[in-house]
Structure 1
Amino acid sequence: MTVEVELQRALAPMVEDRLFPDEAPADTALPYATYSQIGGKALTFLAGLPDKRNGRFQFNVWAKTRDEANALMRAIADALELDDVLQATPLGELAATLEPETKLRGATQDFSIWFPR
């Protein structure tokens, strides 16, 4: 399975399947979450290929209230850290955001995730 399939398995039920790579479609119901791979550690061996890859993933949640956005991001963090397949490690705590035009409250957090090649 791909890391994207595993992320959907682990996280989509938390947002009623409103988990999207990169960005959500216009008029998506709240709350929802997005994710992007924003780098990772490259592994190189002298002989052969490693059996795992590493990605740095950024997760973003959007909601109507600050409490809802932060609670959802914390729940996503817990699910990622407890998932046996994803082996996620937080790379810092959540950061609160505000979308000035829509007044939506957001939260973002980065994770290091190891996944099968």
Structure 2
Amino acid sequence: MASAESVTYGALKALAGGRVYPDVAPASPVKPYIVYQSVGGTDETTFDGADTLQNSRMQVSVWSISRSEAASIIKQVRAALTAEPVQGVPIGAPVSVYEDDTKLYGSQQDFSIWYQE
């Protein structure tokens, strides 16, 4: 039985040196790293009940010590999540962020991911 998280992790686990985490990174992680989190999606429940085909809006954030590295890795994320077998659909373009507290550069993008439950 698949989940949006397992599908996402399976596609991203080789990126950022394997530093790919659900929801939040551990304390003091090695950089760069990727964090992914389900932030909604499309509910396919009908009068007949829930469908086994489910959807998740997966937000992926890349964190790095440089803007260029964050931008490069989010491109790799996009390639991994839009390719077979995931075939995710980007929801908007990547958003660049800077975290003043940690002095890290980030790049975030959302993807619509369908999976069989």
Q: TM-score, normalised by structure 2?
A: 0.92
Of all paired residues, the percent bearing the same amino acid is 34
How far apart in 2 are the matches of 1:87 and 1:109? 15
Aligned residue pairs, count: 116
How far apart in 2 are the matches of 1:52 and 1:4? 15
How far apart in 2 are the matches of 1:19 and 1:95? 19
Query: Could you report, residue by residue, the CA deviation over 1:66-106 in whole angstroms, capped at 9, with x for unpaired residues?
Result: 0000110011011100132x231000000000011221110
How far apart in 2 are the matches of 1:104 and 1:49? 41
Match of residue 78 from structure 1: 79
**Displacement after TM superposition at 1:48 (Å):** 4.6
* 1:29 lines up with 2:30 in the alignment: yes
Contact 1:20 1:33 in 2 (8 A): yes
Q: TM-score, normalised by structure 1?
A: 0.92
**What stretches of structure 2 of length at least 5 have no aligned partner?**
none
Query: Could you report, residue by residue, the CA deviation over 1:51-76 in whole angstroms, capped at 9, with x for unpaired residues?
Result: 21001111000011100001100110
The residue type paired with residue 107 of structure 2 is A
> Where in structure 2 are the equivalents of 1:72-111 lying within 5 Å?
72-84=73-85, 86-111=86-111
**What stretches of structure 1 of length at least 5 have no aligned partner?**
none
Match of residue 9 from structure 1: 10
Q: CA RMSD in A?
A: 1.3
